[in-house]
């Protein structure tokens, strides 16, 4: 029960709360177990006090584990490397091995779908996952949780790419990157790697030569919005002019995520 309570982030129980709880129990202990009922209550109180003590020990042990973990070398791309925030709930399951079911459900989805990115050729669905695979394989952009393996994202990295190292600092990178995200995502054009234009005139010619469904899927992100629309591309070309100036502000460091 304790694991379930502390493992549930919704409860937001802290050990300060548990201390207050412990004091309350100590002050309200039955002095004399006059009846069988009172005796049971006294035993329960005693168990609860032990439980509080146990939880405190877990907290200390978990903190030690976290400290030890932080000293272990992790890959530089690992976000935990720079993170020092460790919740009590996060600590308790490390000790008890009993995470909230939501976490295991998410893991299970990732595990079921992992063969899709790991398979050299056609992935074989785990037993019972045929329907899931049919759905995900029909639209990987929409359903595949491994974002770097979606066909649009893969297409956006084909040369010429808005995200190629040699053009990252040029206006064309931001313009075509915005066009990719703001128009092309989850279309045949993106899947084929056609995500780069050298001018607005070039883009306009492309749109005249192709049916709109070739380069624009209205529901690509769910509900349509004004921000996902081919009519915005002209504005991207205007905004692109400011891109080098913006990046120049960060000539000695990478722009922070939230500022970008």
Partner 1 sequence: MGELITYLLTVDYVYAGLVERPTLEEMAQVINKLNSRAAIGLEKLFLIPMSPRTEAKVVRGKKRSPHHKQVDPGIEVPLIKTALQLIMDYLMKNFSAEEQAMMRLDWFIIEHSLCKYSRLQKTLQEI
| CA–CA dist 98, 105 (Å, integer) | 13
Instruction: Output 22 or 92, the one with its CB closest to partner 1.
Output: 92
Spacing of C-alpha 229 from chain mean position: 26
Instruction: Output 145 or 230, the one with its CB closest to partner 1.
Output: 145
Q: Least Å distance between CB 245 and partner 1?
A: 15
Q: Least Å distance between CB 1 and partner 1?
A: 17
| CA–CA dist 42, 59 (Å, integer) | 26
**Tokens 């995470």 sit on residue:** 99
Residues 6+ apart with CB under 8 A from 234: 200
Instruction: Output 28 or 227, the one with its CB closest to partner 1.
Output: 227
Instruction: Output 89 or 172, the one with its CB closest to partner 1.
Output: 89
Q: Least Å distance between CB 61 and partner 1?
A: 15
Instruction: Output 33 or 124, the one with its CB closest to partner 1.
Output: 124
- H helices within the chain, ranges in order? 2-6, 15-27, 36-71, 88-96, 101-118, 130-138, 140-143, 151-156, 171-179, 188-191, 200-209, 212-215, 233-240, 243-248
Q: Least Å distance between CB 193 and partner 1?
A: 15
Q: Least Å distance between CB 250 and partner 1?
A: 9
């Amino acid at each position: 029960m304790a694991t379930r309570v502390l493992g549930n982030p919704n409860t937001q129980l802290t050990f300060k709360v548990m201390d207050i709880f412990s004091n309350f129990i100590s002050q309200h202990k039955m002095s004399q177990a006059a009846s069988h009922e009172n005796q049971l209550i006294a035993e329960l109180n005693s168990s609860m006090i032990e439980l509080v003590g146990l939880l405190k020990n877990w907290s200390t042990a978990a903190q030690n584990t976290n400290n030890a973990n932080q000293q272990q070398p992790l890959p530089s791309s690992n976000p935990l490397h720079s993170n020092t925030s460790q919740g009590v709930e996060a600590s308790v399951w490390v000790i008890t091995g009993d995470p909230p079911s939501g976490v295991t459900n998410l893991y299970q989805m990732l595990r079921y779908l992992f063969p899709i990115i790991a398979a050299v050729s056609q992935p074989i669905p785990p037993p019972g996952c045929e329907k899931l695979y049919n759905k995900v394989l029909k639209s990987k952009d929409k359903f595949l949780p491994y974002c770097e393996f979606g066909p649009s994202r893969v297409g956006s990295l084909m040369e010429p790419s808005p995200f190629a190292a040699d053009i990252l600092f040029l206006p064309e990178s931001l313009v075509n990157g915005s066009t990719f995200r703001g128009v092309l995502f989850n279309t045949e054009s993106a899947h084929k790697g056609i995500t780069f234009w050298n001018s607005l005139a070039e883009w306009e010619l492309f749109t005249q030569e192709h049916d709109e469904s070739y380069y624009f899927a209205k529901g690509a992100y769910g509900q349509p919005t004004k921000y996902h629309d081919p009519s915005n591309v002209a504005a991207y070309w205007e905004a692109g002019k400011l891109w080098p100036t913006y990046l120049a502000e960060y000539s000695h460091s990478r722009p922070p995520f939230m500022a970008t």
